[in-house]
Every structure is written in structure tokens, then in C-alpha cells.
Structure 1
Amino acid sequence: MLLLAQISDLHLDGTERATERATRVMEHLRALPRPVDTLLVTGDIADHGTPEEYAEATRILKAPFPVLTCPGNHDVRAPYERELGPGNQVHHFGEVAVLMCDVTLEGEDEGHLSPETAAWIDRTLGALAPGTRALIAFHQPPVALHHPLPDAHRLTNPGDLAALLDAHPEVIAVLTGHAHTAAASVFAGRPLLVSPAVTWTLRMPWEGDRPADREQPPGLAYHLLDDEGRLTTHFRVIP
């Protein structure tokens, strides 16, 4: 059984509020009776993309388990990579591969699967040992979530991603952030699981006119992958 935690959208900006919320989540994870096997952080780690924000992220995210990151639309590639490493990285946990992918467009809120990242995903999946299962994580969801805010800024070329997944049945799920709401859908025949945000929670249209609920506590997702290849997700808030 592989146990992964996922958080997203920390938006660290040097304020006490952002620091406290991210610290609260990490203290919760570090205190678990059974440690997670890894933590995925799916973008918008910094709010302005400054070196100082990434230095704070490195400090807050320090943990006794691997912490894997990918950038979001608020992140800036050069300082992100200097502090956190390349946006495209693969990590292996036994017979499971986790691909953290950079689909950001500098200066834009939308995501885009670039030819370079698509080729890297294709090569990486093609090189996996037979029987290896894979999870792909990036920031912007490739499907509509039925709120005008995230739906206006999702992945712009989902067809290219779908074609890639069709060629690689070893991918069992897609994990994203960006929407600031816990959500589950389907993409290219796989589960699409959207992490809640640390910074604030998205109100859906039927919940009120103001999109940002800043009073909700930060959230996270737990993904459990069992030996039969079944993925189960539990969402939590951290009061």
C-alpha cells in the first residue's frame, strides 16, 4: 500500500496568514502516527515567485518523507528551479512512478502541455519497467469543474494530454491543483483528482457570490494505492 498526501496552492507571500496555514498543514503531516510515503505539492507554492518565498517554502516543507513539487501559474520558473529543482521530475516508489510535470506558461494563468514536457512524459513512461503503475501530477485541471474562475484558466490543450495517456495505459490517475476546491472527475478514462487549497477555498456558484472563502481551514488529500492497483482518495481539512 502506497500512501501519498497532496496539497496545493500555498501562495506563500511573506504574510503571517499564509505562513501559519502552510505550517499548520505540515505539522499535521509530520505528526501522523503512520507517516505518508510522500507528499505532492501541486503548484502555486509562491504567490509572487520571489526567491524569498521559495526559501520560506523550503523551510516550511522540510519533512522526514519525500516532498515532491511542480510549479503553478503563480510560480516563476527560474527562482522556483533554483530552490526546488526542475519542474519535470519522476520519482519511484517500488513499482509506482510519480511524474511531477511543469505545464505553466510564464505570465499566464492557463496551463499548456508543451511539446518538450509531452516528449519528456512519453520518454519517461516508455522507459518504465513492465508492471509499473504511474501517476501524473501538474497544476491546471484539463477539464471544466463548473466554476467560471478555474474553468477560464485550465489546461489549454487537453487533447494532447489525452492522446499521451491513451498511449500509456500504465497511467492510472491524474492529480492537479489550481481550482482551490477538492474535486473528483474523469479524464481520458482515468480518475482526475483535484487537491483542495491551503490558502483559501473556492465557493461554488450555488454556495454564494464571492468565490474566495478565506474562513475555511486548509485542506489536503490522501491517495492510497493498493496492491491491486486501486486508488482511493480521502479529503481532509486541518482546523
Structure 2
Amino acid sequence: MLIAQISDTHITAPGRKALGDRVDTAQALKRALDHILGMAVPPDTLIVTGDVADHGQAEEYDHFRMLLAPLSLPLLACPGNHDDPALLKGALAAMDPHQGQWSKGPTLDVTMDLGSLRFVGLDTTVDGAPHGQIREHQLAWLDSRLAEAAFLELPVVLFLHHPPFTTGIAHMDRMGLRESDGLATVLTRHQGRVVRLLCGHIHRHISTLWHGVPTIVGPSTAYSVSLDLDSQASATFAFETPTLLLHHWNARESTMVTHTVPIGAADGAFPCET
């Protein structure tokens, strides 16, 4: 199974750009989707790890839906701190490829079984704040979904917007996931069940092992947060090569491999000569 991950698309209303009219996020997303549509082996699903819209406005989600119209993949997304969870849910529910089931709680949590995998998404947003949080009812719901997955012998891909660990980019870490101990406890209780934890928020590709779970932060399709590990550094961004991630799940070997895929034209492919 092949899982495409994009993150932090920050889609604006048509005719507008992000970051002081400097970043055409819609064009950046279109390039990413064109790349996915042109793949010789198409992904089986697409996951968007938050900050779908730039200001959480209805016209931005309408624009997002229009941009994704050519795609006919099962689509899952979790909200980020720039999103309005209710508006995001409405946009996703109106898209034919969306096949997830929402939780019955007040947060926008979702699950979907596809092939030999279970996907679980958590809403880490805090109304009016940039940092993230997971509530007690979400931990109970996640615990139930993981227990059920164990009974069904399904490995789980868990995704959320805010990374639960410190990245070293201080101004972003101050907006990270707070009180992550509860999530760590649930994952430890179901050790080995979650084969990938996918996040967004940082606008950089980052990987680590967090409480025994391989954890990947997906880069933004639009722009990168500058890699500055000075604890006093101010927030700046850069136009680095836009990138998406592909996660390849081998059910027979129970292994998942993550590939970094630069978006855009490149010379090749050429035959390798010996």
C-alpha cells in the first residue's frame, strides 16, 4: 500500500496569496497534486496533516475542494491551528473520496480501515491558540480504536497536526503539542500497534522515534520554516524545494518505508549503465 502525505497547504481564497501576498499556496498545492496524478504507481490514499486553510474561512475550504476535484483517492485530513474544524469537516464530507468515520465527540477525530491498515486521525486544535492539545475523551477514544485494531490484527497509522516532541526549532516548539504524556501512555499500552505517527505544523521534514513509534513530520507543500536551531531565533520562512512524502507499507513483511519526493521537473529517468 502506498500512502501520500501532504501538509500545511495553507490554501487562501481564490486570487489571494499567503504571507503578505508573497506565497501562492494554491499553485503550490496544484503542483503537488499534478505530481501525484502523474505517478506511475498511484497512491492508495492521501493524508493531509493539518493547516489545510490559511485563515479557516469557508471560501478557502471551497478553494481546497476545487483544487482536489481531479483526485479520486480516499482522503483523510486532520485540522491544524489555522483551521476551523467544523468548516473542514463540511468540506471533507462533501468530497466523494472521503471515506473516514467521524468520532461522536466534540473534536474532529476520524478513523478509516483501508486494506490491511487502520488510519486514525486526532484533532489537536485549541480554539484561538496556536499550540495543540489532546483531551481525555480523545485518549479514551484512541485507546478504544487501538484495542479494536489489535483484535482485528490491523496495524495503525496515527496522524495529527502538532508533533508531540521538541524539534529544536524554538519558536515552533512553543506552539507544539502540550501535555503529550497522555498520548505516550496510550501508545505504550498498545506497544507495536502504531507503525507510523504522522504530523505537520513545522513546515519541515523531520523524523524521530517517540515512545517506540517511528514519527514523521511532513513538510509544507508551499514554503518551509527556516532551519534555525538558535533558541532565540525569530520566525522566518524560505522557498525550499516543495516536497511530499510517500509511505510504502509492505503487509507481508510488516514494514513501512518513507520516501521523500521533491515536487517539480527533474532530468531523468535515465537508464543506469554498467
Provide the TM-score with structure 1 as the length reference.
Answer: 0.94
Query: Which whole-Å CA distance do the structure 1 matches of 2:136 and 2:158 have between them?
Result: 16
The equivalent residue for 1:69 is 77
Query: Which whole-Å CA distance do the structure 2 matches of 1:154 and 1:225 have between them?
Result: 28
Match of 1:81 among 85, 89, 92: 89
Identity of aligned residues (%): 29
The equivalent residue for 1:221 is 245
Say whether 1:186 aligns with 2:214.
no
Equivalent residues of 2:169, 2:229 under 8 A apart: no
Equivalent residues of 2:47, 2:76 under 8 A apart: yes
Equivalent residues of 1:125, 1:168 under 8 A apart: yes
The equivalent residue for 2:33 is 26
Query: Which whole-Å CA distance do the structure 2 matches of 1:152 and 1:37 have between them?
Result: 35
The equivalent residue for 1:6 is 5
Equivalent residues of 2:12, 2:63 under 8 A apart: no
Query: Root-mean-square deviation (CA), in Å?
Result: 1.7
Query: Which whole-Å CA distance do the structure 2 matches of 1:210 and 1:154 have between them?
Result: 14
Segments of structure 1 that go 5 or more residues without pairing to the other structure are none
Query: Which whole-Å CA distance do the structure 2 matches of 1:52 and 1:6 have between them?
Result: 23
1:59 alignment partner, SS class: helix
Query: Which whole-Å CA distance do the structure 2 matches of 1:175 and 1:100 have between them?
Result: 9
Which deviations, in whole Å up to 9, do the C-alpha atoms of 1:38-93 show, x marking residues without a partner? Answer: 01000000011011111111121231211111100000122122222452111112
The equivalent residue for 2:195 is 172
Match of 1:108 among 114, 120, 129: 129
Say whether 1:60 aligns with 2:83.
no
Query: Which whole-Å CA distance do the structure 1 matches of 2:53 and 2:234 have between them?
Result: 27
Equivalent residues of 1:147, 1:204 under 8 A apart: yes
Query: Which whole-Å CA distance do the structure 1 matches of 2:9 and 2:31 have between them?
Result: 11
Tell me the CA shift for residue 133 of structure 1: 0.3
Provide the TM-score with structure 2 as the length reference.
Answer: 0.82
Query: Which whole-Å CA distance do the structure 1 matches of 2:61 and 2:217 have between them?
Result: 23
Say whether 1:231 aligns with 2:256.
yes
Query: Which whole-Å CA distance do the structure 2 matches of 1:19 and 1:193 have between them?
Result: 24
The AA in structure 1 aligned to 2:62 is A
The AA in structure 1 aligned to 2:144 is R
The equivalent residue for 1:134 is 156
Segments of structure 2 that go 5 or more residues without pairing to the other structure are 18-23, 94-101, 103-107, 265-274
Query: Which whole-Å CA distance do the structure 1 matches of 2:74 and 2:258 have between them?
Result: 19
Say whether 1:144 aligns with 2:202.
no
